[in-house]
Amino acid sequence: MINWENPLIAPYRQQLLSTEKPVVRIKLSPANKSSLRRWDSKVGGAPYLPLGAEYPHTANGDPLTLLAQINFAQTPPLENFPRQGLLQFFIHSDDLYGCDLDNLLNNDGFRVIYHADVVEDDSLQQSDYPHYYGEEFGLPHNPEQSFAMSFEQGTQLVSCSDYRFAQILERYEGGKNENFWQIHSNEDLEYEVMESFSGGHQIGGYPDFTQNDPREEHDELKDYILLFQLQSEWEDGIEIIWGDLGVGGFFIHPDDLAKLDFSKVAYSWDCS
């Protein structure tokens, strides 16, 4: 809930409201293997893998691990996103969870796979696929556990860690806010701002970062939007931890999203 009486936020209410965009929020709940079908939306567990489909590996032959999959037939409609099909996110179990910090588009350590047509028949699923066993580096989740997804349609204002947050205020307020965070340096109020404009597990909307928005540093990513975000969560039977309680996100160019082309997705995660 946004406290519009916060003196850091109040002067910019109209400007911030102008950034509103639709989002689908995700709630996770523990699930056992028998309660989820292979084509259901979930974090972890056995991936949807129809007969004949190739399981993703790195160039060195290391199998990737299912982080999450979203069946869009189970989600509320979201503008410009698929209305059907299943989208999967796989990552590597190396020390950076498959993320190339120098090139966020390098998908050797991760893969985003879209199945336009979903086969809802267990007998047509591959029962044998590479499993994650190593514990040298680990993953943000236990791949042997599954967390079911439920969805809620909503709207969201620009997050304060989005690189455009300060730019939006500067654009409306001129030189007064050349650097929003230096001018407004009250730590208690800053914390409230960050809490007010933070997201969670979600499809679309605005991303969160515990450090800097990497899109600001990479010109080729400036126009990329949030595709899917999974945050750290460690309560009520859920345990997802990105490093030191960080957040992971996948980003896509709007033109590629319109074409359902997920071959040039960017992936990043960070922690404090």
> Can you give the residue ranges of every domain in the chain?
10-270
Residue 269 has pLDDT above 70, yes or no: yes
* Residue of higher predicted confidence among 85 and 171: 85
pLDDT tens-place string over residues 133-157: 555 568 999 998 999 999 999 999 9
Stretch 187-200: mean pLDDT: 65
Question: For residue 243, what pLDDT is reported?
Answer: 93
Rounded to the nearest integer, the mean pLDDT of the chain is 89
pLDDT band at 196 (very low <50, low <70, confident <90, very high): low
Q: Give the span between the Cα atoms of 46 and 90, in whole angstroms.
A: 12
Burial of 117 (0-12, 13-18, 19+ CB in 10 A): exposed
110, amino acid identity: F
* DSSP H/E element including 91: strand 86-91
- Which token pair is 252? 């896509």
* Residue of higher predicted confidence among 200 and 198: 200
- Which token pair is 221? 């990513």
Question: For residue 175, what pLDDT is reported?
Answer: 46
Residue 194 has pLDDT above 80, yes or no: no
**pTM (predicted TM-score):** 0.92
Quickly tell me which residue has 């599954």 as its tokens. 146
CATH 3.40.50.620 fits 10-270, yes or no: no
**Cβ distance 80 to 74 under 8 Å?**
no
Q: Give the span between the Cα atoms of 248 and 24, in whole angstroms.
A: 16
pLDDT tens-place string over residues 102-144: 999 999 999 999 999 999 999 999 989 887 655 556 899 999 8
Q: Which residues contact 61 (CB under 8 A, 6 or more apart)?
A: none
Question: For residue 32, what pLDDT is reported?
Answer: 80
